Amino acid sequence: MTTETKQFGYYPGCELRTRAKALDCSAQKVCRDLGITLAELKEWTCCGGLVPQVKDNYMGFLAPARIFLEARAQGLDSLVTLCAFCFNTLRRASFFLARHPQVRARLATFLDVEGLPEIKVLHLLEVLRDHIGFDRLRQAVRKPLDGLRVGPYYGCLLLRPAQEIMLDNAEEPTLMESFLKALGCEVVDFSRKTDCCGSYHIVTNGEIAGRCAEQILDSAGESNVDLLVASCPVCQFNLDWKQSQANHTNIPVVYVTQLLALALGEPVDTLGFSHRAASMLPAA
C-alpha cells in the first residue's frame, strides 16, 4: 500500500496468545500489509484485567505501571492494543496516572524507579482511523466485501467510560461503521451494539451472561446480519458460547482484523475463521 512505515509499540495481552490467536495473527498480517510496524514489548505481563475501581488502592495500578516502564525501556511512547479489556485497562490507567502525580510518585517508589513514563495507549482501530485514514484503507482493499451484512458490536469496554476512553461517541459511535464501509461491507445497525455481553459473569454465573448475550443476538438477528464483528475476545466467546449452548441463532462473531485481512487479500484459510463464519464470506 505505501512505502512509509509507521512504528508503534505493541501490547498483545494474555488472550491473544491463547484463545484469541486469530485476533493476533490477523492483526499482524494487516499491519504488515499496511506498512505498520508493531514493536512487541519484550517483557510483558497481564494488564490486570480491569483498572482498579477503588482509586485509593494504588497497588492495582502496578501491572499497567510495569507495562509502561517496559515500553519506555524500549524507547516507545505509545502502545497499540487489540483486546478491548487490555485497551480499557491500560487507557484508563494512563489517564488516571497522568492526572495524579502523587500516585505516580508512590508507585515509582514502590517499583524502585525514578519515575513513571506517560505512555499513550491506542486501539488498532484508532490507528487505522487517525494514522492511516479510512480513505487510504479503502484504496488498499483488494477484495471488497460487497454484499456482506455486518453488524458492528462494540460492547462496553471499547467506549466507556467516555470521559476517560475518548475513542468515539459512547452512545452513537461511528468508528466501526466507517471502518466496515471502507472494506465494502453493508453496515447493519442494531439496537444493542454497545451493550455488555455479560463479561466475566460467564465464569461464575452463566445464566446472567447468557441473558446478556441472548439480548444482543436477538437484536442482531432481527436486523438480519450475516456476521457480527468485535474486538474483544470475551465478547466473541460469550456470544458464540450462547449460540452453541442454546442453538439460539446462527450468527458468527468474528474479529475486526479478520475481516480487514480478508479484504486486503489475505487467504481466508490463514485467518482463523470458523467453518460457520467462512461459509458466510463472499466467494474468492
Domains of the chain are 6-123 (1.20.1050.140), 142-278 (3.40.50.11810)
High-pLDDT (> 90) share of the chain, %: 84
pLDDT of 57 > 60? The answer is: yes
What sign has the CA pseudo-torsion 76, 80, 85, 91? positive
What span, in angstroms and rounded, lies between the C-alpha atoms of 85 and 91?
10
pLDDT of 226 > 50? The answer is: yes
CA-wise closest residue to 195 among 229, 228, 153: 153
High-pLDDT (> 70) share of the chain, %: 96
In this structure, the dihedral spanned by the alpha carbons of residues 240, 177, 17 and 76, taken in order and rounded to 10 degrees, is -160
* DSSP run (H or E) holding 108: helix 101-111
SS3 content of the chain, % helix, strand, coil (to 5): 50, 10, 40
- pLDDT bin (cut points 50, 70, 90) of residue 284 is low
Name which of 11-25, 151-165, 209-223, 269-283 the model is least confident about.
269-283
What span, in angstroms and rounded, lies between the C-alpha atoms of 134 and 179?
6
pLDDT of 101 > 50? The answer is: yes
pLDDT of 112 > 70? The answer is: yes
- Identify the three-state secondary structure at position 67: helix
pTM of the predicted protein model: 0.95
2-38 pLDDT, tens digit per residue, is 446 789 999 999 999 999 999 999 999 999 999 999 9
In this structure, are residues 84 and 155 in contact, taking their beta carbons and an 8 Å threshold?
yes
CA-wise closest residue to 13 among 70, 87, 77, 73: 87
Provide the angle, in degrees to the nearest 10, between the axes of the packed helices 21-34 and 256-263: 40
What span, in angstroms and rounded, lies between the C-alpha atoms of 281 and 279?
6
